[in-house]
Structure 1
Amino acid sequence: MLIYSEHTSERLKYILDYLLIERLGISYSLTQSQEYFNKGQGPKLNYSVHQTPGIITIVPEGLLFEAQVRKKKPSVTFKEGIPIIFKKPGSHHFAFDIFSAAFYFLSRYEEYQHYDADAHGRFPAKESLAFKNIFLTQPVVDHWIIMFRKELQQVYPGLSFKQEQFNSLPTIDVDSPWCYRHKGIMRNLGGIFRDTFHFQFILIFIRLAILLRIRKDPWFMFGWMKKVTAKNNQQPLLFIHAGKYGKYDKSVSSKNIYFRKFVRNIQKDFPIGLHPSYISADKPEVLKQELNTLNKLANLPITHSRQHYLRVKFPEYYRMLIVAGITDDYSMGFADKPGFRAGTSRTFKWFDLLEDKATNLCIHPFAIMDRTVTTYEHQSVMGAQLIYNELIEHVRKVDGQFVTLWHNESFSNLFEWKGWRTLFENVMKQTANNQ
């Protein structure tokens, strides 16, 4: 496809590569010569204010040709019932600047603008354009790509496109493999004193029964997890915490012989990545240390990660990952609300807005985290199932990838997690990948 634009930029090249090559499977060439464009044969697209009869025209909004970050957020309108931004009357066949709109979401442009951070320094869902306009649970960029493909097919019926299919990827954060075991005498004594002070005698009984090996540790559910996912042709990706103990990091010491054995064994059943600690988000040297620790324990290079507490701040955190040698990150999602933080269910490469360049860091967005439903939404298991059902339906409509975030303790069937094993089994069945 030949594309005409009066101007070019790194932003424009990035979004054309993603929408046309990565998502639609169409090769393209970009020209700033209107004469060359007019003489060109085959499918063409005009990205300018100049009108060309018979050619799809998208009027630029201007975002892709700027260097600064705007202060004001765009307004939202609707096309065919789908939320859109950067509406541009005068565009032939297309009512909005899809290139600028998709770039706004994928680059996380709004996270470079002013916002009120939460207690952990995160960009909360309530600050997002999608949440404020009630479309956070819709992968709008995926919808726009489908709309774009339909327009191209109508004008150029001979074009062939990449066929995307719905698929599912369950991911598991392992903050600690065990609830009680292998955590040392002092931590367990401290837990017993705390439970005694709060009259939680049932917890003392459970703890002692597990420590005496009368009961299995409720968080060590990896064998069960393997059976459930394999039955539905799914391969979970596990993220293992290898950092030090702290206020928000309740991991087992990486020096613990049982933890070391766990890492060696678990990678035989599941692909693994790093779950960087809470404090690592602010300290590059800690991130590197934890990555080196897991590399040594696993005896293989670890290149995938998801940040503990999802503490991602732009652009610092992703720059840290690149320097450390991480190639794929799975932190793109909200802790406080389910939905699509970047407007898409599918993988994309991160664009560093302040450096004005595309990177090779692959971002894998997730749709929902288990703790979002229990801690923030205060939902019952039945309520949680309805939320998962809605998101699955939204992703199926766009032939997207349904990435979910779970924790191994969610399958303990204890306290707020009662019934969550059944929920996990249901979701795995609903999203089973084709054989």
Structure 2
Amino acid sequence: MFGSNAVGWLKVILENRFGLAFDLDCQMGRSNVLVLTLPGHSGQITFDTLCPEFWSSNNDFPCAQWDPRDSNLQPPLGLPIPAPAMSTIDRKLCEFHDGSAVFHYDVLGLTYWCLNRLEEFEGSPRDLHGRYPAFASHAVRNGYLDRPIVDEWLMVLGQVIAHVWPGVPLRRSEFAIRISHDVDWPGLYNFQPVTVMAKSAINRSIVNRSLWPLIIAPVVWLFRNKTISKFDPANTFDWLMDVSDELGLTNAFYFVCGETNTNYDPGYSIDNPSLSDLIGRISGRGHEIGLHPSYETFRNPTAFNAEFSRLRQVCEREGVKQEAFGGRMHFLRWDQSITPRLWAESGLSYDSSLGYAEKAGFRCGTCHDFPVFDHQRQEMLSLIERPLIAMETTLFDSQYMAIDNRQDAFSHCGHLMNHCKRVGGNFNFLWHNSGFKSDKDKDLYSRIVHS
């Protein structure tokens, strides 16, 4: 099942996670097994139950629960761990013999299947925007989307490694919160057609029970080509940076640099002097500039590359010095067979699109960064994935989770963040600069960031 390149990618995953250069051999014969060894040390870990399900786009298989305590190991979250592709577990999944161990579960196959999103390939369902929907996923259908199951299994594997090779130091990662902002609308009034500006003003007037938006919106709109007004409610850039500066955090701001669908792209020009100046100011304050590719680019390399080129031109003109660029797809549009290679071949260093629009959680089963592998071509790409865990539109929008109580939203984010902390991962959190409808939203944002 595992080709040499896939095995090589798994070795990179293990080295990144544990800081050790393992050997991993796939032994084919009467029974297919994976054997993990550590050069210079005796002992081995054998995975003797490889699951063919983890090598296909199928996700129609059962999911059991395994308590590591049954094998004298500790569950990272203090709970039994979901075990996809297992219907029942009637024996110890991990056994120790004479300085070695045998794992009767395909931990590395699960890692391959989850991180490479194999269930999202051919024949999988799509929503209105061509996205793989959360409801179709094995995680949602089996109730573990809120669990970083890959990280949980790898942490258990870390305990097994420590048992087989005692005294060998293992890398331990630290929790971090990473904040990003998709700049769909740099201004709600500045860059809008007059009818949209009026509608935005009316909506904010109703939400905030104030006439102020109706007064200020026309004034802001009249001077729209000169500056992003401090009175525009989407102009939260300095406030967002102020909050993070207090905590020593670096925010990432992802800008749309083209228009490929007039129904869904904002249509602003990154060359607008007020936006070029904004990019320079963000970078000058030590925060990150990134790309938010427009609606149709997720399958269009020509448009994708043109937009990244436009961003780099503006950054060069404004004196932005960044060693690398990353970003996130507009509307989280993603085709696992095409989009990762677009990112890699364009020269972008990381993507952070892999979260579900309609449900917060662990789409890839992890909150750790990982190198992207092209399953179809069987090669590792020069791209890192930073899986998205939660965004504000997912929490609040009526077509998604529709949480109307800010305390409930805070609790849900806290629940996911706590799981990230327990596995030493990253809580990758998106809040659009234009996503603050009232001061209550700003209070909630501050509480989450300070957690």
In the superposition, the TM-score normalised over structure 1's length comes to: 0.84
Measure the CA separation in 2 of the matches of 1:57 and 1:392: 33
SS where residue 419 of structure 1 aligns?
A: helix
Partner of 2:99: none
What does residue 249 of structure 1 align with? 265
Identity, % of aligned pairs? 24
Residue 28 of structure 1 pairs with residue 26 of structure 2: no
Shift of 1:208: 2.3
What is the match of residue 307 of structure 1?
329
Cα deviations across residues 338-376 of structure 1 (Å, max 9, x unaligned)? 001100001011111111112121100011011001111
Separation in 1, partners of 2:199, 2:253: 32
Alignment CA distance shift 1:369-1:190 (3 Å): closer
Determine which of 79, 83, 91 is the counterpart of 2:66. Answer: 79
Aligned CA distance change for structure 1 residues 120 and 191 (closer, same or farther; 3 Å): same
Whether the 8 Å contact between 2:188 and 2:197 is mirrored in structure 1 is no
Aligned residue for 1:172, secondary structure, equals strand
- 1 CA distance for matches of 2:253 and 2:392? 15
Q: What aligned pairs does 1:127-138 form with structure 2 within 5 A after superposition?
A: 127-138=136-147
Matches within 5 A, 1:331-350: 331-350=353-372
**Contact between 1:107 and 1:351, CA under 8 Å: does it hold in 2?**
yes
Task: Please state how far the C-alpha of 1:242 moved relative to its aligned partner.
Answer: 1.6
Shift of 1:420: 1.2
Query: Does structure 1 conserve the Cα–Cα contact (< 8 Å) formed by 2:410 and 2:444?
Result: yes
Question: Residue 181 of structure 2 contacts residue 433 of structure 2 at CA under 8 Å; is this kept in 1?
Answer: yes
- Find 2:311's aligned residue among 271, 275, 294: 294
Once the 2 structures are TM-superposed, how far is the Cα of residue 64 of structure 1 from its aligned partner?
A: 9.8
Equivalent position SS for 1:163: coil
Alpha-carbon distance in structure 2 between the residues aligned to 1:288 and 1:347:
24
Aligned pair partner of 1:175 in 163, 168, 184: 184
Indicate if the aligned counterparts of 2:188 and 2:200 stay in contact, CA closer than 8 A.
Answer: no
Mapped contact 2:243–2:446 kept (Cα < 8 A): yes
Distance in 1 between the 2:185 and 2:368 partners? 28
1:108 to 107, 111, 117: 117
Aligned to 1:208: 218
* Rounded Cα–Cα distance in structure 2 between residues aligned with 1:102 and 1:420: 36
Aligned residue type for 2:163: Q
Q: Confirm or deny: 8 A CA contact 2:59 2:138 kept in the other structure.
A: no
Structure 1 residue 206: Cα displacement: 4.3
For residue 292 of structure 2, what is the aligned residue in structure 1? Answer: 275
Name 2:4's counterpart in structure 1.
9
| Per-residue CA distance 1:287-340 (angstroms, 9 max, x = gap) | 111111111111157631210100011111111222222221111111010001
Between stretches 201-210 and 346-355, larger displacement belongs to 201-210
**1:428 aligned onto 2:449:** yes
AA matched with 1:27? A
Mark the CA change 1:24 to 1:215 in structure 2 (over 3 Å): closer, same or farther: closer
Q: CA deviation at 1:191?
A: 3.7
Does the Cα contact within 8 Å between 2:326 and 2:349 map onto a contact in 1? yes
Distance 1:149 1:411 in 2: 41
Q: Distance in 2 between matches of 1:271 and 1:256?
A: 19
The aligned counterpart of 1:399 is 424
Change beyond 3 A, Cα 1:231–1:335: same
2:248 corresponds, among 199, 212, 233, to 233
- CA distance in 2 between partners of 1:83 and 1:331 (Å): 24
Instruction: Please tell me whether the aligned partners of residues 237 and 272 of structure 1 are also in contact (alpha carbons under 8 angstroms).
Output: yes
Query: What are structure 1's unaligned runs of at least 5 residues?
Result: 1-5, 46-55, 431-435
C-alpha distance in structure 2 between counterparts of 1:190 and 1:427, whole Å? 31
Q: 2:379 aligns with which of 352, 357, 372?
A: 357
Equivalence for 2:402: 378
**Residue 107 of structure 2 aligns with which residue?**
98
Match of 1:188 in 2: 194
- Provide the secondary structure at the position in 1 that maps to 2:269: coil
Q: In the aligned structure 2, how far is the partner of 1:424 from the partner of 1:231?
A: 14
Counterpart residue identity of residue 159, structure 1: V
Q: CA deviation at 1:256?
A: 2.1
RMSD of the alignment, in Å? 3.0
Secondary structure at the counterpart of residue 411 of structure 1: coil
Residue 92 of structure 1, CA deviation: 4.5
Is contact 2:53-2:59 (8 Å) kept? no
Deviation at 1:91, TM superposition (A): 6.0
- TM (norm. structure 2) is 0.81
1:329 touches 1:363 (CA, 8 Å); kept in 2? yes
CA distance in 2, matches of 1:18, 1:96: 18
Distance in 2 (alpha carbons) for counterparts of 1:37 and 1:262 = 51
Q: Which residue of 1 aligns with 2:48?
A: 59
Of 374-383 and 25-34, the range deviating more from structure 2:
25-34
1:10 deviates by 2.0
Tell me if structure 1 keeps the 8 A contact 2:51–2:85: no
How many angstroms does 1:394 deviate by? 1.1
Q: Is the 8 A contact 2:22 2:36 kept in 1?
A: no
Instruction: Provide structure 2 residue ranges, at least 5 long, that are not aligned to the other structure.
Output: 29-34, 68-79, 96-102, 224-228
Q: Is the 8 A contact 1:345 1:401 kept in 2?
A: yes
Aligned residues: 402
CA distance in 1, matches of 2:347, 2:364: 23
User: Any idea what the Cα deviations from partners look like across 1:30-58, whole Å, max 9, x if unmatched?
Assistant: 45799x999x862432xxxxxxxxxx321
Deviation string 1:208-250 (CA, Å, 9 cap, x unpaired) is 2544789711111111111111112211111111223721111
Q: Which residue matches 1:140?
A: 149
Q: Distance in 2 between matches of 1:17 and 1:374?
A: 38
1:223 aligned residue: 238
Secondary structure of the residue aligned to 1:410 is coil
Change (3 A) 1:64 1:30: farther
- Inter-CA distance 151–246: structure 2 relative to 1 (3 Å threshold): same
